[in-house]
Amino acid sequence: MTRRTSDAVVIGCGVVGLTSAIRLAEAGHRVRIVARAASPHTTSDIAAAVWFPFRTERSDRSLGWATASLAFLQSLAGDPAAGVTLVEGIKLLAAPAAELPAWHAAVGGFRRARRGEVAPPYAGGFVFTVPVAQMPVHLAWLAARLRALGGSIQTGVDLTPPDLERLAGQVGTVVNCTGLGARELARDDTVHPIRGQIVRVAPGHATRFVQAAPASGEAVTYVIPRPDCTVLGGTTEVGRWELDVDPSTAAAIRARCEALVPALAGAAVQSHAVGLRPGRAAVRLEVERCGDGRVIHNYGHGGAGVTLAWGCAGEVVRLAGQT
């Protein structure tokens, strides 16, 4: 088969796959997404989706991806169809921070928390304004944007490593955005699940997001207000594959969140959800020779898919342009 160098196939239809496909289409590629599933059946649909470098590598490249994504998400906040809003919130710390986070200058309204905003067991915190995505709406907007650029989405496709090798020999650009699926597709045993469980309650009970940085061994706690619901979380269970909702975990999440935001008491539960974040020591964003072609790997974003996606997508386009 003749290799069509201007064609691009993106494997995976979560936020990382969709943003990569959009940027490639904008750069002039004919883009097709192939995936096992699309929204509402992706891990991205479950994301609380607040911009925040959660469990990401501390590096200049990661910071660059995050700030690039932040700028683009901020630009979408004026478009209701995109499902992105700007929300003020607070990150509570178990101990006062001697240094400011590397990203502090990029976010809106950054300041140290005032005394009246912090109560025991927390000893400090930061207040800032960042984008929050209503994921069902946002993912639909991304898919529509891709199609408007001439791209297509094909679901029900479950590729194997030999399939990937064949595809790389047929298409000019193949991008692997399979998240946890890269453990099998890319034969990468360093990819592992980080189980996250959330509770969605009726909106209107919280006006700003709250994230409580846990002391050693404690669970992460967060409250993320969105127009469609308020997301209560959560868990970061490394290596756990179970997708069933654990009722005792749900009860514990709710209790921790109500301790942070008492107004949540009595809020009606809309739903429960569990997702498996694609954990890895660092994002894999690089070109690999694969059979007679090459693959651009873009996976391992952990709990920061929304935070890193647009920055990583720009890097995908740069790599695709290399010969």
Model confidence over 159-195: pLDDT tens digits?
999 999 999 999 999 999 999 999 999 999 999 999 9
- Residue 322 pLDDT grade (very low, low, confident, very high; cuts 50, 70, 90): confident
- C-alpha separations of 135 from 84, 273, 311 in Å: 9, 13, 18
pLDDT at 323: 63
Provide the angle, in degrees to the nearest 10, between the axes of the packed helices 305-320 and 15-26: 40
The per-residue pLDDT for range 237-294, each reduced to its tens digit, is 999 999 999 999 999 999 999 999 999 999 999 999 999 999 999 999 999 999 889 9
- The DSSP letter of residue 268 is P
Grade residue 3 by pLDDT with cuts at 50, 70 and 90.
very low
Which domains can be identified in the chain, with CATH numbers? 4-320 (3.30.9.10)
Query: Who's near 135: CB < 8 A, 6+ residues apart?
Result: 15, 39, 44, 45, 46, 47, 49, 83
130 bridge partner residues: 87
Torsion of CA 137, 143, 145, 147, to 10 degrees: -150
